[in-house]
Structure 1
Amino acid sequence: MNAERPYLLLTPGPLSTTATVKEAMLRDWCTWDDEYNGLVQSIRERLTLLAAPSAPEAYTAVLMQGSGTFSVEAAVGTAMPRDGGRLLVAANGAYGERLAQIAETLGIDTARLGFGEVSPVSPERLDEALAADPGVTHVAIVHCETTTGILNPLGELAAVVMRHGREFIVDAMSSFGGIPLDAAELGIDWLISSSNKCIQGVPGFGFVIARRAVLERCGGHARSLSLDLHDQWATMEKGGGKWRFTSPTHVVRAFDQALRELNEEGGIEARHQRYVRTQRALTEGMEAAGFAPLLPAELQSPIITAFICPEGFEFREFYGYLKQRGYVIYPGKISAADTFRIGSIGDVQAEDLKELTCAAAAYMVERTEPASGA
């Protein structure tokens, strides 16, 4: 590690970025300039190609200032009509619950279908819930629930929603760009992510990739001026990439560079395979060091992994020990077990995770050794 990169950021975003992504932010841009707006248009086009490779023309991308949660709120608040809509949120973690909270705060008629914290969203139960409630017009799920690292069965869930003819909102915050999918084939109407996740940019904006025909009929739905996704989209369409309000120009430029680097790596499939390798190296090394994963392998995403804290384990002490050696990890986020989490995405290789797990193993040895002079 060095002064410019004192540690690897092993979280589900923000994450460790390349030097070239950071260097892209060294230039100032004018938000009204045609060159900058052309860059925004290029980003929008590339996002639809990544999200719906079989039918990119059927989708459009809208960039929105703020964290990923801002874009989730913009999508939900714009997708749902002010009258006559009902949203079913299938939740199995904190981010699914936050999605439901957003809808309820906006005054949207919302139903929650809960699955606890360590079980995937069940297609069978979703099917039953939709059959029992014909008033539901929209369904929302989180693809990768980073509360635990669980990966929900998107294909099976999409098939259920499509069969019932409901609109489908997918929070793909921590999966888009790192796990292959095709929104057109799956029938996804709204796909949400942000700049600082698997595309490997920096924080500052989120984006929604929406089915064009669906978004076009959502004028007047929004409950917020600044989070009106339809108006943001209409302005970008009319203005050739112009944002309604001041955009995070440096972050946009970094994201453009990150998209270029994704392409150079071989696209989403190649990045997914790298993430799988890093997560495997992480899990194998942590198990050897004495840490058990929370989830069985068949439910585990390659994005972030939760580990069960051993008896008598002090997370803050462990966190400080690893940070001194160049690694920053995440605390746990569930009530069902005492856990901590380690991300395996970003500018990180399997060898980095092997070195991390060696440090974790050394910590476990040191904490069990008797103090000197005892």
Structure 2
Amino acid sequence: MNTQDILNLDNRYLLLTPGPLSTSAGVRRAMQKDWCTWDQEYNDLVQNIRQRLVQLATAQTEKYTAVLMQGSGSFSVESVLGSVIAKHEKLLIIHNGAYGTRMLNMARCLNIEVVELAYPETSTPDLNEIKNALMDEKISHVACVHCETTTGILNPIQDIGRLVKAAGKIWIVDAMSSFGGVPMDIAELEIDFLISSANKCIQGVPGFGFVLAKRDRLAQCKGLARSVSLDLYDQWHTMEHHHGKWRFTSPTHVVRAFYQALLELEKEGGIAARHRRYLNNQQTLSKGMTSLGFELVLDNQCSQSPIITTFLYPTSSKFDFQQFYEKLKQAGYVIYPGKVTDLNCFRIGNIGEVYLKDIEGLLLAVTDYCHTYLHLNSIST
């Protein structure tokens, strides 16, 4: 690919991935103006974003605050783990995929005392085991991923949260790929710290993540941070007392695009309406792919999210994922490789500026690939 090919914006393709994802023309246009981080207009925008995020998260808005943090979503996860757990406290991480494992690696790197409950990537956590683990009085915090995009599984954070709060622990939820696309009230779920990112279901672009935190919990975190740049308390305190000011240079274009994405979410009808669109995308995709002979990785015992769907490679020896990927990309669709440890699989995202017609177009492209390169009307044989 030469430079001209890269610069040719007419050759756009649809990102069927769990973020970065395909954005609207309005979100992209919002990045065409430069902003000054000290300007009051810009800082007013930041404050508006923070307020809107809390309103999206809960009806009990007085209990929560929003903190924006530079970097990818993982930066915000590490910011929480490194800023809210004291040196004498202990963390339980419940995980069944790559992103829960990433939290585990962060905690160990930060020298946090950690215990894990690990489950297969295609299984939901065992509530009885969690209940027993929480009997450890040294455990002060519990963390889990809501939508684990390794497979697309939706973990039962409501049931886990009840156990966590009954045991008197602080509840941390990585809702990176679910917040904004799956209805929830974080106050009703008793979540103390929820983490997400600009480039997921809100449908902004990459550049910052955000944390929705109980005000009283966050106020107790002063001086706990293991990092200067990722000090969640200090970032919040500066935004609170300096009217939206970030401590260090913020991704101004990304912030403005995110504000536009929030307006578009509201125009669509809010999270409930977006969830219906994503769910329709996912169900149409699953039905179409299984009719072509592809098998779903998650069985009926697991809760399939509307965010991303994982499929097994077909049994045909003629199937080559890289060829499949390239042919779909040529047709205008980019999918994801698999992440499940011991399965040959691939993933297709259902979120972003993606509608039913797009899923139907993808299915036509998959059908064409199956007929042309596998020479089969059904690839399951």
CA distance in 2, matches of 1:271, 1:32: 34
2:245 maps to a residue whose letter is K
After superposition, give the CA deviation of every residue in 1:85-128 in whole Å (9 maximum; x if it has no partner).
Answer: 10000000000000011011000000010111110122222112
In the alignment, which residue of structure 1 is the partner of 2:86? 81
1:72 partner SS? helix
Give the counterpart of 1:38 among 41, 44, 48: 44
CA distance in 2, matches of 1:266, 1:129: 41
Map residues 1-374 of structure 1 onto 2, 5 A cutoff: 3-4=9-10, 6-53=12-59, 55-82=60-87, 84-131=88-135, 133-297=136-300, 298-311=302-315, 312=317, 313-369=319-375
CA distance in 1, matches of 2:82, 2:335: 33
Range with bigger deviation, 15-24 or 293-302: 293-302
CA distance in 1, matches of 2:23, 2:314: 31
Instruction: Could you tell me which runs of 5 or more consecutive residues in structure 1 were left unpaired when the two chains were aligned.
Output: none
1:323 partner SS? helix
Residue 5 (structure 1) shift: 5.9
- Does the aligned pair in 2 maintain the 1:144–1:301 contact within 8 Å? yes
Q: CA RMSD in A?
A: 1.2
Instruction: Could you tell me which runs of 5 or more consecutive residues in structure 2 were left unpaired when the two chains were aligned.
Output: 1-7, 377-381
1:110 maps to a residue whose letter is V
Normalising by structure 2, we get a TM-score of: 0.94
CA distance in 2, matches of 1:369, 1:282: 22
- Does the aligned pair in 2 maintain the 1:282–1:350 contact within 8 Å? no
CA distance in 2, matches of 1:153, 1:18: 31
CA distance in 2, matches of 1:256, 1:5: 27
Normalising by structure 1, we get a TM-score of: 0.96
CA distance in 2, matches of 1:88, 1:127: 12
2:267 maps to a residue whose letter is E
CA distance in 2, matches of 1:25, 1:160: 43
Residue 3 (structure 1) shift: 3.5
1:58 maps to a residue whose letter is K
1:136 maps to a residue whose letter is I
Q: 1:260 to 1:99 in 2, by over 3 A?
A: same
1:184 partner SS? coil
Residue 336 (structure 1) shift: 2.5
After superposition, give the CA deviation of every residue in 1:191-223 in whole Å (9 maximum; x if it has no partner).
Answer: 000000000000000000000000001011111
2:352 partner SS? coil
